[in-house]
Amino acid sequence: MEVTVIGTGRMGSALVRRLASQGFDVYAWNRTRDKLKNLPAKAIDDISQARGVTFIFVSDDEALNAVKGVGGDVIVLSGTYSVGAVTAFNIRFTSMGKGLLAAPVVGGPGDVENGTAIYLVGGPEATYQRVREVFDKLGTVIRLPTVESAMALKLAYNAFLIGTMALLGEYVVLGRTYGVDDDTLKALLTKTVFRDVAEKYLDRMLRPKSPPSFTLALAAKDVHYAVKSAGDAKTPLVISSAVKSLYELLATLGFGNEDYVRAGLLELIGGLREK
């Protein structure tokens, strides 16, 4: 089966490698052609040359709105976008007779490449059945009825996780202020319902060792889309709006490339005041 990936950043590249490892005939396009080097895919010169199942991993709403004339039989939106942008895309492409699904990914590039990612697949069941052979080789699938519901669930999940990281960072600082060392906090958390959070994220927050797979700037974008999508439906997200303001402030002040899990550390915010 032929599969095309449009947008080969970290997630798109990981998907190309996963698809190739599972025996699919993979094509790829990226605005910056150098990002296609060393990928196990045949480069295409224009998105109109996309074939088969076409996964779109472009960066944001603006890039998604610019996608016009894309080829392929079924289009799958796998980036993270606002619900409004997905609705507009859905209207535009289904009117052209193309099948459309939204399948945003829960997990990072490593999960995508290893087949441990979760795909929130929304759209008509008949369309999903046409491409189920592909998803069966990608990871875990959670089915949703519409493209909008799939994207809304992804935004809700991301906003929850991003807000949790901001709070965790603040609680680290509160403990330090009163003489609680980081290991003691971790020991407490690992004995509670927060065990998995502590084991997965606390060391990453306190002792960063490598470039982040998900940056603070990307987190700011995702929470912005969650708040916007809720506002469009007249369902305001008060707490997420505060989290959005924090991440947008940090990104504006030059910390956009930091790991998003570090946003709540007041040492980082204190560093902003010194800039």
Domain range for 130: 2-145
Distance CA 66, CA 152 (A): 21
**Given this model, what pLDDT does residue 272 score?**
55
Contact of 3 with 19, CB cutoff 8 Å: yes
- The residues pairing with 26 across neighbouring beta strands, listed in sequence order, are 3
Statement to judge: residues 196 and 263 lie in one domain = yes
> 60 — phi, psi (to 5°)?
-160, -175
Statement to judge: residues 118 and 182 lie in one domain = no
Mean pLDDT for all residues in the chain: 93
Q: How far is CA 27 from CA 7, 30, 48, 63, in A?
A: 11, 11, 12, 20
**Given this model, what pLDDT does residue 92 score?**
87
Q: How confident is the model at residue 12 (pLDDT cuts 50, 70, 90)?
A: very high
Statement to judge: residues 210 and 175 lie in one domain = yes
Statement to judge: residues 34 and 123 lie in one domain = yes
Of 145, 166, 185, the residue at which a domain comes to its end is: 145
Statement to judge: residues 250 and 119 lie in one domain = no
- Indicate the Cα dihedral angle 162, 164, 165, 166, nearest 10°: 90
Distance CA 3, CA 27 (A): 6
Q: Residue 246 maps to which CATH number?
A: 1.10.1040.10
Of 99, 124, 145, the residue at which a domain comes to its end is: 145
Statement to judge: residues 165 and 204 lie in one domain = yes
Kind plus residue range of the DSSP H or E element containing 225: helix 216-232
**Given this model, what pLDDT does residue 34 score?**
83
**Residue given tokens 């974008």 in the structure block:** 221
For residue range 46-95, what is the model confidence (pLDDT) as tens digits? 999 999 999 999 999 999 999 999 999 999 999 999 999 999 999 988 77
**Given this model, what pLDDT does residue 33 score?**
85
Average pLDDT on 150-165 reads 98
Kind plus residue range of the DSSP H or E element containing 140: strand 140-144
Distance CA 53, CA 51 (A): 6
Q: In 10 A of CB 231, how many CB atoms?
A: 13
Average pLDDT on 20-40 reads 93
Statement to judge: residues 48 and 165 lie in one domain = no
Contact of 58 with 7, CB cutoff 8 Å: yes
Q: Residue 108 maps to which CATH number?
A: 3.40.50.720
pTM of the model: 0.93
CA angle 228, 157, 138 (to 5 degrees): 120
Which pair of structure tokens corresponds to residue 177?
Answer: 């202020």
Distance CA 20, CA 24 (A): 5
**Given this model, what pLDDT does residue 98 score?**
82
Statement to judge: residues 171 and 258 lie in one domain = yes
User: Is the pLDDT score of 274 beyond 70?
Assistant: no
For residue range 111-139, what is the model confidence (pLDDT) as tens digits? 999 999 999 999 999 999 999 999 999 99
